[in-house]
Structure 1
Amino acid sequence: MGTAALRVTMRESSVTAVQGDHVVLPCSFFTSSPLSRLNIIWTLAPSSSPERPTQVIAYDHGQVMEDPALIGRVGFTGVPWSADIFLNDTRPSDAGIYRCLVNNPPETANSGISELELKVLTPPSLPLCQWDGDADAGGSVTLSCSVEDGVPTPEIHWEKLEPEKTALPINMEGDLSGSIQIFNVSSQTSGLYRCSATNVLGTENCYVGLSIYTAPGRPSGVLQGVLLTLSMCLVLLALVLLALWLHHTGQDGWRRRDGKEECYNEIRYTSSLRSFV
């Protein structure tokens, strides 16, 4: 009489969790033999280094052994009747390909390994904003923005917020960084710029305040007009004050001269005149 084959299957081909979630990784097996010699091993090939798989948790002859780095975060949900495991407080480092290996001697396994992919969604990390270039009028400036983490990969956008909100074209440099180039900068280029890193879990921003230096030169036409008008007003005011002063001093002079003439024209008679015989 032949020995029945052990069957192992994954009920899901992939599982998605948000960072910090509790998640169950399902692994089903069917056996007709006693479970006294049951052996279950879970391994992980991390997304960051798939060529270096590690053992996550194992069950062997009634004993459970966890990866020391995962103690308190990983466990079986119903061993020995179920090979399902759970993960608490999911992290980006938990993402990757999980393999479930089940043995139950004396049965031989018929494809006793099944696998699934765990995706851990994470919000964007805080982006880093920088600028480089010549901030003098007529020069060119490059604004760059990079973000380290985020699943799905964050989308990067640049926009000018002040004095007028304007979306800006961006040059992507890989998946996690992007820049804009501004040529022939002027005073109108000055303002507040924002880089946004966005995915389904949220948005993070960083900012750059750009001030363009304009060398002193000839004043603008409007300023020239204002200065000319002010100069003319000052000259006119000076002429009015001079005319008033001359008019005032002229009246005083005539009064003095009139007083002297009245004194000279006055004829006085005295009784001291003598007669000659």
Structure 2
Amino acid sequence: MSTKKKCRFKLQCLCFPFVTPVLSAALAISVSIPKEVYEVARGDNVTIPCSFKTTVVLSKIIAMSVHWARLGKHPEDPASKILDYYYPANELDINAKYEGRVGFLSKPEMGDVSIYLSKVTLEDNGLVECAVNIAKDKDGVNTHATNLLVLVAPSKPLCSLEGKAEYGQDIMLKCFSEEGSPPPIYKWTNYDVRNTLRPDPPKSKQENGMLTLVNVSADNSGFFICTSSNKIRSASCNITVAVMPPSMNIGMTAGIIGASVVALVILAIVVYCCCCRNTEPSEEYEMEVPGEEDYDPKAKPLKNSKEYYDEKNEPGHNGDTYYDDDGEEEQEENKRSRPAMIPPSKPRSMGHSDS
């Protein structure tokens, strides 16, 4: 054998292992979807094409099944069935959510398993997968997925303020659209009190529709507008921010009010006491009864007393005690409080008898 023939033989031996896997892959089943993304406006109809190739002659397929499903947002989330088809029984099982809205465009056993989906809703948004299983053809890739993007314009966003718009405080402006597909992008712009467009304040931050303002002052007061937009259209909302001086604490205010009330009550009590101290009769109008220490023997007897009449020597009393109708008890008290007085002795008249 020549050297040339030996090299040719070795080349064939080296090439044979690489040719065999390529032929096997070509003869295995394969499922394909032409595009990675299919866009449709909410409420419209869409066609999602899917086809397969197999090593089995189509006319000789013994058994086949086709599965369409909506995949979860995360790999661990379970898939939601759209429809299942079984051949040769020609049995079609459709999920109740898609009843009357989904179906095949042709006979699946002929190699085309494309579906139509009508009246698309926002719940249809997400990854959808086509899977084909054919008896006696287990090798290859039998599934393919694509993204069904349901386009929905952003709903009018809601603007809100979180925190206290006071000097030195941090506040957050929030903006959110309840609907929007693809998810809307948010952008804040602001105007000063003279309605002039201005850049974002220093140290401010925009993220996911939230605008954070740090250490606000009167310069941050103005008119703020949030725009929510996606590839269809946009919508906006606005909010006015008025930064004010810090308000007094409610507890401090209540304490000040309470202290003021207590002070007024004390002042009223003091004033009342001062005004009512001298309401008793003045000393010059009081009637004082002299005690033993104040008794004066040279003082004239009181009017209407026994001594007074004895001194005057008026008839009709004969030394009997005189009682004043207006001050009977007072006279008795005065009599008990001072020492007995010795009536002056007078000569008896010769013209009167003892009887």
Partner of 2:114: 84
Aligned partner (choices 171, 177, 181) of residue 205 of structure 2: 171
Aligned-residue offset at 1:200: 1.4
Counterparts of 1:133-212 in structure 2 under 5 Å?
A: 133-136=163-166, 138-140=167-169, 142-147=171-176, 148-161=178-191, 163-169=194-200, 171-173=205-207, 176-181=208-213, 183-186=215-218, 189-212=220-243
**Distance in 1, Cα, partners of 2:133 & 2:47:** 21
SS of 2:71's equivalent in the other structure is strand
CA distance in 1, matches of 2:68, 2:77: 16
- Aligned residues of 1:132 and 1:141 also touching (Cα < 8 A): no
- Whether the aligned pair in 2 keeps the contact of 1:75 and 1:86 (CA below 8 Å) is yes
Residue 186 of structure 2 aligns to which amino acid in structure 1?
I
The answer on whether the counterparts of 1:14 and 1:119 sit within 8 Å (CA) in structure 2 is: no
Amino-acid identity (%): 22
**C-alpha separation between the residues in 2 aligned to 1:85 and 1:178?**
41
Cα displacement (A) at 1:199: 1.8
Q: Runs of 4+ in structure 1 displaced over 3 angstroms? A: 33-38, 104-110, 132-136, 138-141, 148-153, 188-191, 211-215
Query: Which structure: greater strand fraction?
Result: 1
Q: Which residue of 2 aligns with 1:65?
A: 93
| Structure 1 residue 134, shift from structure 2 partner | 3.7
Between Structure 1 and Structure 2, which shows a larger proportion of helix residues?
Answer: 2
CA shift digits 1:222-254 (9 cap, x unpaired): xxxxxxxxxxxxxxxxxxxxxxxxxxxxxxxxx
TM-score, length basis structure 1: 0.63
| Larger RCO, structures 1/2 (Cα 8 Å, 6+ apart) | 1
1:53 to partner: Cα distance: 0.8
The 8 Å contact of residues 190 and 225 in structure 2, kept in 1 or not, is answered as yes
Q: Quick one: distance in 1 between partners of 2:196 and 2:31? A: 55
Change (3 A) 1:165 1:70: farther
Larger radius of gyration: 2
Aligned equivalents of 1:43, 1:139: Cα separation in 2: 54
State the match for 1:11 in structure 2. 33
Inter-partner Cα distance in structure 2 for 1:196 and 1:7: 49
Unmatched runs of 5 consecutive residues or more in structure 1: 216-277
SS of the equivalent of 1:46 reads coil
**What is the CA–CA distance in structure 2 between the aligned matches of 1:73 and 1:36, rounded to whole Å?**
29
In 2, Cα distance between equivalents of 1:113 and 1:49 = 15
CA contact (8 A) 2:40 2:46 kept: no
CA distance in 1, matches of 2:225, 2:175: 12
Alpha-carbon RMSD across the aligned residues, in angstroms, is 3.1
Specify every segment of 5 or more residues in structure 2 that has no aligned partner in the other structure, as ranges: 1-25, 247-355
Q: How has the CA–CA distance of structure 1 residues 105 and 114 changed in structure 2, closer, same or farther, with 3 Å as cutoff?
A: same
Per-residue deviation, 1:160? 2.5
Please report how far the alpha carbon of residue 132 of structure 1 lies from its aligned counterpart in structure 2 after TM superposition: 3.4
Deviation at 1:189, TM superposition (A): 4.5
Cα distance in 1 for residues equivalent to 2:33 and 2:82: 19
- Whether contact under 8 Å (2:47, 2:117) holds in the other structure is yes
Residue 197 of structure 2 aligns with an amino acid whose one-letter code is T
Match of 2:52 among 29, 50, 65: 29
Secondary structure at the residue paired with 1:146?
A: strand
Contact 1:6 1:112 in 2 (8 A): no
- Counterpart amino acid of 1:74? V
Q: Once the 2 structures are TM-superposed, how far is the Cα of residue 66 of structure 1 from its aligned partner?
A: 1.0
Q: Does 1:113 align with 2:130?
A: no
Contact 1:102 1:113 in 2 (8 A): yes
Task: Work out whether residues 155 and 199 of structure 1, in 8 Å CA contact, stay in contact via their aligned partners in 2.
Answer: yes
How many residues were matched structurally? 208
